[in-house]
Structure 1
Amino acid sequence: MNPPVFRRRGFIKSTAAAASALAFPLVASRNVLGANERLNVAGIGVGGKGAVDVDGCAGENIVALCDVDEANARATFSKYSTAKRYKDFRVLLEKEKSIDAVTISTPDHMHALPAAMAIKMKKHVYLQKPLTHTVYEARRLTELAKFYKVATQMGNQGHSNAGTRRMVELIRSGVLGRIQEIHCWTDRPIWPQAIDRPSGSHRIPSTLDWDLWLGVAPERPFNPAYAPFKWRGFWDFGTGALGDMGCHVMDLPFFALDLKNLVRVKAFAPKGNPESAPAWSVITYHFEQSATHPDLKLVWYDGGQKPSPEAARGLKLSSNGVLIHGSEDTLYVDSYWGSGRFLSGRPLSEFKSVSEYLPKSEDFDRNHYREWIAACKGGAAALSNFDYAGPLTEAVLLGNVALRTGEAIDWSSRGMKITNVDEASRLLHKKYRKGWGEI
C-alpha cells in the first residue's frame, strides 16, 4: 500500500507526488517502547523555542541536534554535549538510524519538509505551530501521519492547559447555549510587517549556513532583517501575525466546537508590499452548521485591532483573548489560553456537576510534551495530534490566502479547493526551490 497522494490540478502532478512520497525508504523504527523506556530523540532547529522543545524531552535520550545557525543553537549544543551535531536535517535523518522521535522548531517555511521526511521514516514528530507554511502542506502531513501511524503533536501548548480544557468541557456541555459568534485577537505582530524587501549586501555570519536556512524558499541574499527572528513578516518564510498566533488564540473554539466545516473567508487589511504580511488585519471565517454548532462566524483581529464595543459587551479587552457569544451567556478568556469568566457573573464553581473527562495538569507546558512522549511509547494519542492540528492550521492559513488576494474565498474542504478565485487557489501551495524535492 502506498502513501496517500493528492491528485488535484494546481498542486502537483500525481506521478511527481507519488515519486516524492516514496523518495525516502520506509525505515523500520524500534519496537514499541514500554512506558519506562527512553526514546531516542533528535532536535531539528534547537535555538529559541527549539531549545524549549528539546528541554521538554530532557527525560529521554537526546541523541542528535541539528541547526543551521551555530550561534543561535550554541546554548543547546552545550547543554546536551553528548548529542551528535548536524547542520542539515537530511543528513541527520539518514545517519541516525536509532532515532525514535524528532522535535522540529524551524522557521515556518521549513516545517513541512523535515516533518514529512521523518514521518516517512516512521519517526514520531513534535512540530511547532503553525503546523506548516501552506494549506497543502497541512493536509499532506495529516495524511502522512495517519498512513505511517506515528505519534504527533503540534506545539500549541495551551491545548494542554487545564483551564483551557475545563472551558472546552463547559462549552460542550451547553452552558453558553446556542453558539452565535466568536471573536479572537492578538497584539502581534511584534516584528516588522508591511515593509519592503530589504536591500544592500551583507556578509553572511560565519556561524550561519544561509543556503540551508533558505531551504525550500526562493534564493535571495542574506540580510539580518530576516534571521534569526524577523522572518515572520515575509510570506516566503513566515505566516504573519495570524499564522504565529492563530493556532494559540483560535485553539479554544476549534477544540470545543470541532470547527472543521469552514466554507468562506473574507479579510480586510491595508494594502502594502505583497511580499510582506500587512500591519494589521480583520478576518471573518464562516462555518456551516454541524452537530456541534449552528451556522456561525469567527472574527480574527491583529495589529492593534479588536472587537467593536458592541461585540466586546462593554469589556475592557486584554491584549490577546477570546470572546464566545452564546444564546445563554458569553465566555471571555483574557489570554492565549486558560480559564475564562462568564459575563453573566456566574462563577465557575456553579458548574461542578459538569463532567470532567479531559486529562489535566497544572504544569501544562511540560504536560504538552509528556502527552506526546507517552503517545510515542504506545499510549493514547496526544490531543493536538495532526488529525486535530492539521485542520486547525488549514483554517488559519486560509485567512492568509484571503489576505493576500483581497478577495472573499469560498472553500471546499472535502475537495480541498477554493471554488471562486483562481488566484487564491495558487496560494494553497508553493514551489520548492530546486534540489529540495517535494513532500
Structure 2
Amino acid sequence: MNDSKSPTSPQGISRRKFHQTAGLAVASNFAFQFVPSHVWGVNERPALAGIGTGGKGESDINNSAAAGFQVVGLVDVIDAKRIPELTGMPRMQGLAKQRDTYPDAKFYADWREMLHDLGDKVDAVTISTPDHHHAHAAAAAMKAGKHVYCQKPLTHGIWEARMLADLAKKTGVKTQMGNQAHANDHMRRCIELVRAGVIGRVKEVYAWTNRPIWPQGFQTTPPPEPVPEWLDWEQWIGPAPFVEYSPKIAPFNWRGWWNFGTGALGDMACHIMDMPYWGLALSSPIAITGKQQGGSQWSAPINSTLTYEFAPNQYSVPEGIKYFWYDGQIGAEFKEDTWSLKPGEFNRPQEILSGMDHTESKGYDCVIVGEKAQLFFNRSKDTWVIRPGKAVDGFTAWPAPSLPRARNQDPHHEWFDAVTGKIGQAESNFTQAGPFTETVLLGCIAQKVPDTRLEWDPVNLEIKGRPELKPMIKRDYRPGWELSA
C-alpha cells in the first residue's frame, strides 16, 4: 500500500472532483431544519431517497416504496452511465433494477449532493451503505429535517451512536434502525412473556451466530488493484482511513474490516441480541470481557466469546444479568492465498443447547435463562420454546398484549406510519437503537483488547482507567469528513 496516494485532502483529489464537492456540506455543517408540522393526506406519498441502492439497499428502498413512500432519489458510488454494462456482475443486478423500477428518480454518486440538490423535495432517506458511512449520512439528513431509516448497526462507533440518539431527540424526526425482526409479533410477544415473569427473574442470556460468512482473521492488507472505472473509490472510502482498492474489500467483504465494518458481532448482534436487550429493559453494561482468535489491527476475529455484565433491574435476579455472545468458528483458519476462512466448528454455548434440535435455526438464536425456565427464541422464524414445559404448567398470569404491533410486521411500514403521523415513533427508533448499538459495539473493543475486564462509564463515554482506548470510542475522520453533534 502506498499511503502517498491517499486522497485525504483536497490536494489529493482531482480538480474536477474537488469542484464537484467543494460546495457540499458534511454532516457537521448542515444547518438544523426542524421537521415542519405536516398532515399527510390519504393519497399523499412522502418523498424518499435511497442512500446505498445495491444489496440490502434494494430491499430497503423497495419495501419503503411498498409501505407508501415515493422514490425520488437514488445514491450510489457507481457511475450511473455504466450501470447497463454491469448488470451481469455479482451484486450489481439490484442497482440496475432500481434504475428500471424508479425511472423518474434522480441518481447521485454523493449523498451530500443529493441532500443539497433535492432539498425540501425529499422527506425521508434510507441508509444502506457500509457501516462507516451510517453516522455521517444519518446526521446530515436529520439536521436537514429528513426522517431516517438506517441499517444496523446504527453506527460504526460508540460516540456516533450516542450522537445520533441525541440528534433524534433534538430534531424530532422519525427514525428506525433496520433490525427488522424488531417489528415481528413473535418477538414482541416473547418480551411480554418475559416481563410478566413467565420464566421467573432472569440470570443469564446467551446469543450466537454462524457469522462471519466473509473473510476475517487477515493480518495484513491485500495487494492493491486498479480501481474500476465505474467505481468512485474516494467516495466509497468517505470518512474512513484510506486503503488502496481491492475486490477483497468491496462490494461485500468490508464487513470484516475494522476500517469499514464491525465484524460478525456488529453485523448480527443488533438482530440476535435485540429481543433480550429490549425485553429486559437493559441499558449500558457495567463491564465487558472478551476472548477471541485471529483478530488484528485490520480484521475482526475469526471467533469470539464475550461476557457483558448488567446491573440488576426489575426483571433480573439481585446479582444482575450476564449476557454471553458467541460468534465465528472454533479451529477455523484464515488462508491468505485464497483470502478465505477454512471452516471449523461453530462457536456456540453447547451446554445450554444440550438436547435441543437447532437444524432449522439458520445458525443463530438466543436463550434467556430465568429462575423457573429458559426461553429459546429464533428471530428469523415464528418460533419460541419454553423449556422445561412443566415449568409453566398451571401458570395463570399470561399477559395480554401490551406492546404495539407493527403494520404487516414490517419495519418499513412501521416507519412510514410514524412519518405520516399514524403512530408516534417506530419501536426501533434511534433513542432505543442508539444505546443498544453502543452496547453491541463495546463488544468490538473487547475483541480488540481481549482477556481484560473493561469497566464502562456511560456518562463520560469512556472505559475506566484506560484513556488510551478513547480512539476506539470516537475515531478521527479524514479531512473534509469531520463530524460533530
Do these two structures clear the TM 0.5 threshold for a shared fold by scoring above it?
A: yes
CA contact (8 A) 1:248 1:337 kept: no
Q: 1:178 to 1:336 in 2, by over 3 A?
A: same
What is the CA distance between 1:35 and its match in structure 2? Answer: 5.7
Indicate whether 1:312 and 2:318 are aligned.
no
SS state of the match for residue 96, structure 1? helix
How far apart, CA to CA, are the structure 2 residues paired with 1:233 and 1:435? Answer: 25
Match of 2:194 in 1: 171
What is the CA distance between 1:76 and its match in structure 2? Answer: 1.2
What is the CA distance between 1:352 and its match in structure 2? Answer: 8.6
Indicate whether 1:143 and 2:143 are aligned.
no
Indicate whether 1:33 and 2:30 are aligned.
no
CA contact (8 A) 1:410 1:419 kept: yes
| Deviation string, structure 1 residues 150-201 (Cα, Å, up to 9, x no partner) | 1000000000011111101101111010101000000000000001334333
| Deviation string, structure 1 residues 299-345 (Cα, Å, up to 9, x no partner) | 00011344444333432444110111100110112445643111122
Match of 1:383 in 2: 427
**Stretches of structure 2 lacking an aligned partner (at least 5 in a row):** 1-24, 84-91, 330-345
CA contact (8 A) 1:64 1:85 kept: yes
Q: 1:320 to 1:95 in 2, by over 3 A?
A: same
Match of 2:100 in 1: 78
Match of 1:216 in 2: 239
SS state of the match for residue 217, structure 2? coil
CA contact (8 A) 2:136 2:483 kept: yes
Match of 2:59 in 1: 52
Indicate whether 1:431 and 2:431 are aligned.
no
**Stretches of structure 1 lacking an aligned partner (at least 5 in a row):** 1-18
How far apart, CA to CA, are the structure 2 residues paired with 1:53 and 1:20? Answer: 24
Match of 2:339 in 1: none
Match of 1:42 in 2: 49
State the one-letter code of the partner of 2:356: L
State the one-letter code of the partner of 2:212: P
How far apart, CA to CA, are the structure 1 residues paired with 2:183 and 2:394? Answer: 21
Indicate whether 1:374 and 2:417 are aligned.
yes
State the one-letter code of the partner of 1:23: N
What is the CA distance between 1:361 and its match in structure 2? Answer: 5.4
Q: 154, 160, 184: which one pairs with 1:131?
A: 154
What is the CA distance between 1:255 and its match in structure 2? Answer: 1.3
Q: 302, 306, 326: which one pairs with 2:327?
A: 302
SS state of the match for residue 161, structure 2? helix
State the one-letter code of the partner of 2:435: P
CA contact (8 A) 2:181 2:379 kept: no
What is the CA distance between 1:424 and its match in structure 2? Answer: 2.6
Match of 1:12 in 2: none
Q: 1:381 to 1:349 in 2, by over 3 A?
A: farther
Q: Provide TM-score, normalisation by structure 2.
A: 0.82
Match of 1:414 in 2: 459
What is the CA distance between 1:30 and its match in structure 2? Answer: 5.2
How far apart, CA to CA, are the structure 2 residues paired with 1:214 and 1:437? Answer: 14
Moved more, 346-355 or 250-259: 346-355
| Deviation string, structure 1 residues 47-101 (Cα, Å, up to 9, x no partner) | 1101111111212211111001245322212211100110000000011122111
What is the CA distance between 1:130 and its match in structure 2? Answer: 0.2
Match of 1:397 in 2: 441
| Structure 1 residues 272-287: aligned runs within 5 Å | 272-287=295-310
Percent identical across equivalent pairs?
40
Q: 1:373 to 1:35 in 2, by over 3 A?
A: farther
What is the CA distance between 1:351 and its match in structure 2? Answer: 6.9
Q: 1:309 to 1:25 in 2, by over 3 A?
A: closer
Match of 2:76 in 1: 67
How far apart, CA to CA, are the structure 2 residues paired with 1:193 and 1:61? Answer: 39
| Structure 1 residues 11-22: aligned runs within 5 Å | none
- Structure number with greater Rg is 2
How far apart, CA to CA, are the structure 1 residues paired with 2:122 and 2:328? Answer: 41
SS state of the match for residue 109, structure 1? helix
How far apart, CA to CA, are the structure 2 residues paired with 1:33 and 1:268? Answer: 52
State the one-letter code of the partner of 1:436: W
Indicate whether 1:207 and 2:230 are aligned.
yes
| Structure 1 residues 259-274: aligned runs within 5 Å | 259-274=282-297
How far apart, CA to CA, are the structure 2 residues paired with 1:140 and 1:296? Answer: 27
How far apart, CA to CA, are the structure 2 residues paired with 1:298 and 1:277? Answer: 20
SS state of the match for residue 191, structure 1? coil
Q: 189, 206, 216: which one pairs with 2:212?
A: 189
CA contact (8 A) 2:209 2:365 kept: yes
How far apart, CA to CA, are the structure 1 residues paired with 2:464 and 2:46? Answer: 45
User: RMSD over aligned Cα, in angstroms?
Assistant: 2.2
State the one-letter code of the partner of 1:426: P
State the one-letter code of the partner of 1:374: D
SS state of the match for residue 253, structure 1? helix
How far apart, CA to CA, are the structure 2 residues paired with 1:248 and 1:80? Answer: 30
CA contact (8 A) 1:266 1:409 kept: yes
